[in-house]
Structure 1
């Protein structure tokens, strides 16, 4: 149903028309349920990935250092999922401080991933393309550690302004929302600047670097280097496949005002699907990392060690029980022999 009304009670097609659309598909309940599933997969996958990296991997390796920080970034983002799930299934019930904290954690998890992926791509570009670049292993490690620290500092600084702006608002039906201001040229300018510097600019850098990397790798026969480049490329591609459509829809929403319920529903459907796709990224990196045969072997070794320790405990307990039973049997036989009358 489409109702178009103006403040004076007349009907018009001007910019002041307000549309009241009924029977729009409820994506919020679906989003909340899917966020709970993403939470479970992300916690399991990223914690296992951290264990594999810390126990079996050499963290002096630059790529492993970046992947370790990416796993931490995904876990920071994952912390926000229970709040968003409750928000979409019900409404915001956590208060103003939690609203600001969850928004800050969301921004930190998102933008730290972007910066880390960009730094990892630039590292691959220097290693593969700029082969004559004066580089030592220690200098490369220091640069990687500095890039990781910069990623966290920049993402935290970017989260401050958003955390300050958001607040809990009460609506006419006594429901609470956690939202930031959506009107004003200053708000739009700040949003465009932040998204341009922390999303689209890194995307352009990554496209440039990988164009040069792929051109160089295809001209060589170094299979080990090719495997590393492909692994990093898959991780970077997964990020922009998940988050790219969501940011594009946000930009479209800021410049395009739909007219009519059908146009509003299409934009709302596109936003909801892209939103779910973007939030699902936090459980992608462990899956992509486990595509490596060596990583799968390390994970199986980790799980096997746990099973082996449990089996050893069970075997030890079984052996102890057997020893006790044998001792009791011997003692019982000895007692019987002592009680037999002598001839």
Structure 2
């Protein structure tokens, strides 16, 4: 599955040229030198994304558990999105190691498990974001036709979250079954599809269409109606919640859109010249880094809110220390003021006695 997740590796470690016929230029196949630094940079950035994602999403989960009401529908979706990002993030160190060493040393089971975790994180994120958008659509646009019922809305949100995990798990198992470890003549092992036939590409196109582009169409439709509604003067109070959800959804598609489009381009476009292969390889790595960085974006977006910043500060140990220091300073100031007042009162009494 690395071809679907990481594209085609056009670069190999030799510069020989094999050809079927010197007279037919179309039959010439070029093997180009590998560009090591771009994959090394990608691996380093994968590790950074992993660290920031685990730290950020763990803090986000702690803030939700301690300070927020988890019965709130938006908080419920945020909780599941954080879990989805964590599931995706745990796969990044394994892909980083493979990029650095060009050797999958973790075995066949780990190959299947990491492939499944990768797609569970990806598919669950897009399904949850779609459900989140539909919930905003119903709340903002259809509130006159669909009377608000908190209990029913909560049940629908829970059902959507369960469905997101079930569908993403089922889809990822289909992908995981298709992969296996292969050892080549140079004793290097790869985690790749068991077959590179038409069924693999068709299955990938169907999943990308159903679990990426179809949700994208639904989200565009919903937000077109939402923005048309909230821009009316009577609905300005709904701006804040809609903007937050819109930023989260837009960030996902900005990160993952170029990557999915380039996967399709790589399948259709078959470059032959080394320069074209090099450009496509560099473009793919840039889009891949952008896509994988999404799993650490959501905590950053939520922490831009003053309410979430306040919760985070209260959660961190340094805030408790600062609060104790402030309380101690206030206590000292109060005692000094009390002593000053007491001395002043005594001085007044003494002056009165002298005057008598």
**Is 1:4–1:12's contact at 8 Å kept on the other side of the alignment?**
no
Q: Which segment is superposed worse, 132-141 or 152-161?
A: 132-141
Match of 2:140 in 1: 128
Superposed CA offset, 1:84-114 (max 9, x none): 1111111211011100000000000000000
Match of 2:49 in 1: 38
1:204 corresponds to 2:217: yes
Match of 1:54 in 2: 65
Q: CA 1:151–1:23 in structure 2 vs 1: closer, same or farther (change >3 Å)?
A: closer
Superposed CA offset, 1:257-283 (max 9, x none): 112111111111111111111110000
1:171 corresponds to 2:184: yes
**Is 2:17–2:30's contact at 8 Å kept on the other side of the alignment?**
yes
**Is 1:77–1:282's contact at 8 Å kept on the other side of the alignment?**
yes
**Is 2:57–2:299's contact at 8 Å kept on the other side of the alignment?**
yes
Note the 1:1-343 alignment, pairs <5 A. Answer: 4-7=17-20, 10-14=22-26, 16-22=27-33, 24=35, 26-90=37-101, 91-132=103-144, 133-181=146-194, 183-304=196-317, 307-308=320-321
Unaligned runs of 5+ in 2: 1-13, 329-356
Tell me the distance in 2 between the aligned counterparts of 1:244 and 1:107: 15
Superposed CA offset, 1:277-332 (max 9, x none): 111000000000111111111111111587349969xx9xxxxxxxxxxxxxxxxx
Tell me the distance in 1 between the aligned counterparts of 2:256 and 2:195: 21
Tell me the distance in 1 between the aligned counterparts of 2:318 and 2:32: 58
Helix, strand or coil at the partner of 1:259: coil
Helix, strand or coil at the partner of 1:134: coil
Helix, strand or coil at the partner of 1:26: helix
Q: CA 1:263–1:147 in structure 2 vs 1: closer, same or farther (change >3 Å)?
A: same
Q: CA 1:48–1:110 in structure 2 vs 1: closer, same or farther (change >3 Å)?
A: same
Q: CA RMSD in A?
A: 2.1
Q: TM-score, normalised by structure 1?
A: 0.86
Tell me the distance in 1 between the aligned counterparts of 2:33 and 2:173: 37
Unaligned runs of 5+ in 1: 316-343
